Amino acid sequence: MQIDHYTYRVTWSAEDAEHLGLCTEFPSLSWLAKTPEAALKGIRKVVATVVADMQASGEVLPKPLAEKTYSGQFRVRIPAEVHRALALQAAEQGISLNRLASAKLSSL
């Protein structure tokens, strides 16, 4: 498994006053460092160690988000009054409810 395929992020931790390296596919792992570069290097090293341990023990590795495929569909439950308001807004704009919802979600 290529650890390069996983999703990494570096952010500032005000609580620790250091940069925090994270890996989305391994949410329990993190690495603190003085520089963003060191935080990224640290979290990658931790992930590599964990992946090696998981492989050695026959555990299933999480699939990298970048390698997942998505259908473009998901179901959302909303209150009836919100559904009605969105349907009215879509009708007033002359577009489908699906198109309105997609536009609203993509503007986030």
What percentage of the chain has pLDDT greater than the value 70? 99
31-65 pLDDT, tens digit each: 999 999 999 999 999 999 999 999 999 999 999 99
Domain boundary assignment for the chain:
3-66, 70-106
Mean pLDDT, range 17-37, rounded to an integer: 98
In the predicted model, what is the mean pLDDT of the chain?
A: 95
* Two tokens, residue 67: 């390698």
Rounded to two decimals, the pTM is 0.74
Phi-psi region of 17 (alpha: psi -120 to 50; beta: other; left: phi over 0): left
57 Cβ contact list (under 8 Å, min separation 6)? none
Neighbours of 2 (CB within 10 A): 8
> 12 - beta bridge partners?
19
Contact 8, 22 (CB under 8 A): yes
Are 50 and 29 in contact, with CB atoms under 8 Å apart? yes
How large is the average pLDDT for residues 1-10? 92
pLDDT at 1 over 80: no
pLDDT bracket for residue 100 (50, 70, 90): very high
Q: Check if the beta carbon of residue 51 is closer than 8 Å to that of residue 3.
A: yes
Are 32 and 39 within 8 A, CB to CB? yes
